[in-house]
Chain A
Amino acid sequence: MKSREVSLMQLLPPKPSALRIVRAVRVVIVVGLVSLAAGCGSGGLQAAPSTTTASSTPTPDVPSATPNPTPVPTVARTATPSPTEVPGPPEAGLGGVPGADADVLGALGTFTWDGLTSDAPLIVPSRGQDVAPGTPLVVTFVPARPFDRWEAAWAPVRAGEAGDPVPAGDGTTDPIILLTPARAGVWSLRVQASFGGGNHGSWFWRVQVAP
């Protein structure tokens, strides 16, 4: 019984792996370089606010359409990995965002991974990307993993909350390509993917479509 108690407490939230630390450091460097020399691109994943630590945000019971005005520092992703790290779903990057120097990480939502099932809400990340209607976006997983199936949906964001999702596509093979909605507004993009072995996850991005 005691050992069970210990094992329960040892199951801490997933922490960044060494690979992610290296990538985060690289992103910080790249972001710095980009700030020095606009126009220099990078193929790495850029830390997204939605997958980092909590910050001052609107509450779900007092929804607001105003995104979190406080950018979350990317340095938060360089936390020291815990020896009790629990392997979790891969990260998902959104590529093809005009003006973005790197893929934008999605906010991890509900998932089942290696026997752990987590329930999260329909997430509307506090910060988003500005894109034009009909822009093709590409979702990739890091580390790259073969998946059995994916499906995506756009949910209109009203008063800070996601409305009913509208299917945006599904498939079983790479690449995962999505077109941004034709209608202008704030949208929550949800991508769900299953990876075999009963493992699956969902990721969210906030996308602001403007003509």
Chain B
Amino acid sequence: MRRLVVPGISLVLTLLVVLPVGAHGPDPILMGGLYPLNAALEYRWAAAGTPPAAMRTAFNEAADDATASRKSKAPSFAFDSAATNLVYYGADVPCGINGLACLRRTPPDWFGVWFRENNHRFDWGTLKWCELSSSPDGCYEIENVALDELGHVMVLDHHDNFSDNSDFGDSVVQTYSRTKAKAGWNAHVFARCDVATLQQQYDVATWSTLYSTCMGVPTDLTMTGSAASVVTGSMVTFTAVLKSDGAGRLAGNPMSGRVVVLQQRTSSGWADVLTMGGTSASGTYTGTTAVRSSVDYRALFRKPSSEGALSTWSSAVPITITAACTGTCPLVSGGPTK
């Protein structure tokens, strides 16, 4: 019987084409829900497992790192001696037999983070926290691991890397943190795929916050003109509104601080006329130009390399010339025209 099974398995394996699997995108999310937008989460040291001073300092710095680099309305973190959320350091950790650190989250009520004690001897080796030792190669940096844990607290699950880990730098919330001095061992800010998920889940921090390049957020652009038909040389003001058109919290957000260009149709396509200026109204841009012939205009948002918002353009806005200018003509470029 065994003689039949093994060749059968081998045949199946021979036929099975195993392709490298890699998925690059925003971090997955943990179950359990979210905190309120911009929640201020405070933590304190567990009385029965107060971290040593160097770890407290590193964790506080990680809290600052998380708050500063979230680029979203995800929670912020700060120490408060009266907080209910706890950070523990010591031997009694629920992290499984090989865990370096772990956390439990029950938003919006509570979270706890545990760090295994320095010099803990695992089957595979001895744990060295860089800040608690002489920082030898192979140690784990507390600040980096703490930032990973705080990302979990927010909602982030481990990033799904390419099979060759070439995108390790796109996330701090990694399945396997790196030790000193491997690339990424001491990253102190959320990377683009961490931020992408935080923005998807908690929305962008402000309307001018750039969307993470780890995602491609559709956008929508509309434009109107101050007049549909004018005499030659009249000034027409165009008003464009740029909004995100993503899913969930990334739907319908005004997008301020971007570059929106006014274009006019030419015989060979569209040509830039001017860059529209932002206004006090969120996501709104205006531009004024003299119209000398009947022509279509549109607004264009080009995807910048620094942002994950996709290019878009408005519908064409036709401006019709009704008559040539006679008598007192509109002012154009500092002087009258005819």
Contact = CB atoms under 8 A, between A and B. Distances in A.
Interface of A: 1, 4-5, 8-9, 11-14, 49-52, 54-63, 68, 72, 86, 88-89, 107-112, 115-126, 136, 151, 153, 160, 164-170, 177, 179, 192, 197-198, 202
A54 B94 contact: no
Contact of B137 (A56, A61, A192): A61
A125 B100 contact: no
A116 B46 CA distance: 18
B105 A115 contact: yes
B92 interface: yes
Q: Which 6 A-B pairs have the closest CB atoms?
A: A61-B138, A198-B31, A118-B99, A118-B102, A59-B126, A11-B94
B47 A119 contact: no
Contacts of A56: 121
B94 A136 contact: no
Contact of A119 (B97, B106, B124, B145): B145
Contacts of A121: 98, 100, 124, 140, 176-177, 179
Given A5-B86, A13-B93, A60-B127, 18 more contacts: A8-B48, A9-B46, A9-B48, A9-B49, A11-B94, A11-B112, A11-B114, A13-B95, A51-B123, A57-B126, A60-B124, A60-B125, A60-B126, A61-B126, A63-B125, A120-B95, A169-B16, A177-B12
Nearest to B165: A164
B123 to A, nearest CB: 5
Given A61-B136, A110-B175, A119-B149, A8 B86 contact: yes
B9 interface: yes
A63 B138 contact: yes
B20 A54 contact: no
A72 B103 contact: no
Nearest to B99: A118
Contacts of A9: 46, 48-49, 88, 92
8 contacts: A9-B46, A14-B97, A60-B139, A107-B98, A115-B32, A116-B104, A123-B123, A167-B20
Contacts of A192: 175
Contacts of B175: 110, 119, 192, 202
Contacts of B164: 164
Contacts of A1: 82, 84
A120 B19 CA distance: 26
B79 interface: no
A88 B96 contact: yes
Nearest to B158: A110
B326 interface: no
B110 A13 contact: no
Interface in B237-264: none
A166 B162 CA distance: 11
A134 B302 CA distance: 52
A8 B84 CA distance: 11
A153 B19 CA distance: 12
Contact of A115 (B93, B106, B138): B106
A88 B32 CA distance: 17
A123 B165 contact: no
B148 interface: yes
A8 B124 contact: no
B4 interface: no
A165 B166 CA distance: 12
A136 B100 contact: no
Contact of A60 (B103, B152, B179): B179
Contacts of A112: 30, 157
B122 interface: yes
B13 interface: yes
B81 to A, nearest CB: 11
B125 A117 contact: no
Nearest to A4: B84
A27 B179 CA distance: 36
Nearest to B134: A61
B125 A57 contact: yes
B128 A126 contact: no
A4 B88 CA distance: 12
Interface string B101-117: 11111100010101000
Contacts of B18: 167-170
Contacts of A107: 97-98, 123-124
B1 interface: no
A136 B6 contact: yes
Contacts of A5: 46-48, 86
Given A1-B84, A107-B123, A118-B99, A60 B128 contact: yes
